[in-house]
Every structure is written in C-alpha cells, then in structure tokens.
Amino acid sequence: MIELHSHSLLSDGELLPEELIRRYEAKGYHSVAITDHAGPSNLQRVIETLLEFSQKISPYVSIRIIPGVELTHCPPKMIPTLVEEARKAGAKIVLVHGETPIEPVPPGTNLAAIEAEADILAHPGLITQQEAELAAKKGVRLEISARRGHCLCNGHILKVSKRCGARLVLGSDSHSPDDILPPEMLIKVARGAGMEEEEVEKMLEDMEDMVRKCLGF
C-alpha cells in the first residue's frame, strides 16, 4: 500500500519522521510520502530536513520514502511560485491543501494549484466541474481523503472526476498514530466514497506509477 499524504513534527503532526515511517512500515505500507505543511515561512527548511532524513534512513528501512510538502493556506497568487520553488529545492512530490469545507482556505486555491500543475490537490472539497476538467487535462490528481472532516466531500470529488476522467489518489492525511490506517481500511474509504473494486485497483496502480516517477525509477 502507498501513502501520499502524511505529516510529521516538522509541521503539525505528532510523530518524528522516523517514527512515522516505522509505524507505516509496521502496517505493511511499502511507500510513504512525508508532505509536511509548508509555505513562505518554512518551505526551504522543511524540504531540506526531509531530504536529509530520507537520505540517512532509507538504507535501513524497507519502505520507500518520498520527501515532499503540502502548500497550505497560501495566497492563491503565490502558489505557482511556491510550487516551482518546492521542486527546485528538491521536493519529490508537491501537494496543495485544497478548499476543504472545514477550513478557511482562500477561495481560488483549487484553481491556482491546478494551473500550477501541483502533483496532488488534497481534499479539494466542492471542486467545480471546470476545475476537475482542467485537472484531468494537466494531470493533477485529486485526493479521496480518509481524514475526518475532509472526507465529507469524497462522493462529490469522485462524481466530478468520473465525468471528466480526472485521476484520483487515496490518502489518509495522517497527523497522529491513530490516523495511520491498515491498508484494508484505507481501501474501504475509497469503496465508501462510491468507487468500484476495479476503479480502486486502477487508482492504486496509478499511484504506484506516480511513486516510481517521483523517485526516478
């Protein structure tokens, strides 16, 4: 199983990166992206720390680590520049914190993230059909989220994505040990949103391809 959205103590998670990785490893995951919240205040520092951590620990663990960031609550007009800066700094995956209905995310964030070609638009809430169509065109994945609150719009996200062929990813958005779900439970989140079994399998295959691309395989 793959996790593409997790947080450590480098932002608002509860665990050190090494404990986060160990807990995912113990649950049977083979690839995990650490995507701590970032913006103009901490972008370079977070990426540098995660890159150094990944280089040090990867030879000693069975799990593939993808150092990344989740650009969070940033002014939409800054998002293109921040996506570019994150990639230049070495982030292997760039998420943008989408317009979830439970947080005061600036309007226009979803569109800015898609136009900037972020890798994943996390929990995009009531994303419009036009935005989903643009995401499909630009290859930006939309997230089906297991996190409480953010998951409220999973059914809507699935519906609009199926209309236009936008690709999906499945993520826990973990912040604490209790958020790290067994793989079978994470799959149930996708099935509960309305995905058929074959759709889940296709999504997981696409996520594996994404991991390989992020890590340069």
Domains identified in the chain, total number: 1
User: In terms of DSSP H, where are the helices of the chain?
Assistant: 17-27, 43-57, 79-89, 109-115, 129-138, 154-164, 183-193, 197-214
Structural domain boundaries, residue 79:
2-214
d(CA 8, CA 11): 6
Q: Give 38's strand partners.
A: 71
Q: What is the pLDDT of residue 47?
A: 98
Instruction: Report which of 83, 113, 84 is spatially closest to residue 100, judged by C-alpha positions.
Output: 113
pTM of the predicted model, to two decimals?
0.97
Mean pLDDT in each 10-residue stretch from start to end of the chain (217 residues)? Answer: 97 97 98 98 98 97 97 98 98 98 98 98 98 98 97 97 97 97 97 97 97 91
Place of tokens 């699935």: 158
pLDDT at 217: 80
Q: Domain with 142 in it: what CATH number?
A: 3.20.20.140
The pLDDT value given to residue 144? 98
Strand partners, 68: 35, 93
d(CA 111, CA 121): 10
